[in-house]
Structure 1
Amino acid sequence: MHGYGGNTYGLSEPRTLRERAREYALLPLRVFLGVTFIYAGLDKLTDSAFMSASGAGSIGETMNAVRDSAAVPGLVDLALKSPEGFGYAIAIGELAVGLGTLVGLWARLAALGGALISLSLWLTVSWQTTPYYYGNDLVYLMAWLPLVLAGAAVFSADSFRASLRRRNL
């Protein structure tokens, strides 16, 4: 029972401030990424100009503009087969990743989804950004990695489910 932070009577042992802080260390990152990806998904879904194959501010125009400078032009070519479909896939993916991250439901899987979205955008849309640290997609990719590794330890559906499983043991 000590492995779960309690003693044989189910009472928690006192922990130091440093131990408690470590438990909450990724919470600000999780909230930021969750809210940001929810906002990004909703912003795309409600922007009729973005969800078009052509025209100012459209996903199609963006993909055509970055096609020759992308690290992986094949990804852009794939998106250009159906720009609207790609736009909806990115927007719905961002929304699902953001909600999963914020609520902490399948947090590692949600973080992996966020990392993959960020990676794909870095390799296509923001690849040509010079110097590289001006591009935000690489930073988002790196921000997702601690959540892929650690998940959502506190204030999450995952931790609630884990505590229910421990109680039932």
Structure 2
Amino acid sequence: MNLKTSWRNQIWPLRVLRLWLGVTWIYAGWDKASDPGFLTSGSPTFIGTQLSAYSTSSPIDFAINRMLEHSTQIGIFVMLMEFAIGAATLLWIAPTWAAMGGFAMSLTLWLASSWHIKPYFLASDSAYTILWLTYFLFLYGSRRNSKVAIDRRGFLRVSTVAAIAVAGAAVGKLFPKTLTETSSASGKSASKKIIEDASFKVGQTHNFVS
């Protein structure tokens, strides 16, 4: 099935789901690629710093702790996979495998980074886990393109996805975010201090901000 036919043969709800997931995953890859601190040790947005924070409240902390010494490699892998899964979803290249990859990544992120968020529906990772699972089950149930053809055409299609992923990461490095953009999220949390009641003197006041 070619690209145009794949879109035409899908019902509208599935087209919307496919478009949203594909674009979102490419944007997620771009967000990491354009972040100059994502692969830079010591940066507030460094993947190693994020993994270290995740391990404090994740049910899979044992796995995350083992990843810390390979943080940079993990970051590169995640960034490339986000580009690849997004591109494969939009271009209908190994769509079932792409959906499975999206589900696995979302589930891992849910367990790693947002498992502690209560109630669970406030965490976007839980929603994306179900969205990818639904999309995967639909594709798997339809029995369309559930296998990757090991031939010249199949090789070229998969190579196209790999090339898009690498190119996306490279272009993202050419258009880095500004310091304000990369530090806005971390800056807000870092500027907040916890003040103990016992540290207040009698009659002392403090201006609290949310």
Q: TM-score, normalised by structure 2?
A: 0.60
Bigger relative CO (Cα 8 Å, ≥ 6 apart):
2
Counterpart-to-counterpart distance in 2, 1:67 and 1:121? 12
The answer to whether residue 37 in structure 2 is matched with residue 49 in structure 1 is yes
Shift of 1:145: 1.2
Counterpart-to-counterpart distance in 1, 2:19 and 2:43? 34
Opposite residue 127 of structure 1, the aligned amino acid is W
The answer to whether residue 107 in structure 2 is matched with residue 119 in structure 1 is yes
Residue of 108, 116, 130 corresponding to 1:142: 130
8 Å CA contact 1:108, 1:150 repeated in 2:
no
Aligned residue number for residue 4 of structure 1: none
Residue of 61, 83, 92 corresponding to 2:80: 92
Could you list the structure 1 runs, at least 4 aligned residues long, displaced by more than 3 angstroms after superposition: none
Shift of 1:61: 1.0
Counterpart-to-counterpart distance in 2, 1:67 and 1:54? 17
Deviations 1:6-27 (A, max 9, x none): xxxxxxxxxxxxxx99733311
Counterpart-to-counterpart distance in 2, 1:33 and 1:91? 15
Deviations 1:13-48 (A, max 9, x none): xxxxxxx99733311000000000001012112212
Counterpart-to-counterpart distance in 2, 1:83 and 1:137? 21
After TM superposition, the structure 1 stretch with the greater mean CA deviation from structure 2, 108-117 or 78-87, is: 78-87
Aligned residue number for residue 20 of structure 2: 32
Unaligned runs of 5+ in 2: 1-7, 150-210
Shift of 1:108: 0.9
Counterpart-to-counterpart distance in 2, 1:120 and 1:39? 18
Identify if the C-alpha distance between structure 1 residues 128 and 55 changes in structure 2 by more than 3 Å, giving closer, same or farther.
Answer: same
Counterpart-to-counterpart distance in 2, 1:124 and 1:95? 20
Unaligned runs of 5+ in 1: 1-19, 162-169
The answer to whether residue 87 in structure 2 is matched with residue 128 in structure 1 is no
Aligned residue number for residue 77 of structure 1: 65
Identify if the C-alpha distance between structure 1 residues 78 and 43 changes in structure 2 by more than 3 Å, giving closer, same or farther.
Answer: same
Aligned ranges for residues 152-163 of structure 1 at < 5 Å?
A: none
Opposite residue 107 of structure 2, the aligned amino acid is L
Secondary structure at the aligned position of 2:38 is classed as: coil
Shift of 1:74: 2.2
Shift of 1:55: 2.3
Identify if the C-alpha distance between structure 1 residues 21 and 109 changes in structure 2 by more than 3 Å, giving closer, same or farther.
Answer: closer
Shift of 1:75: 2.5
Q: TM-score, normalised by structure 1?
A: 0.73
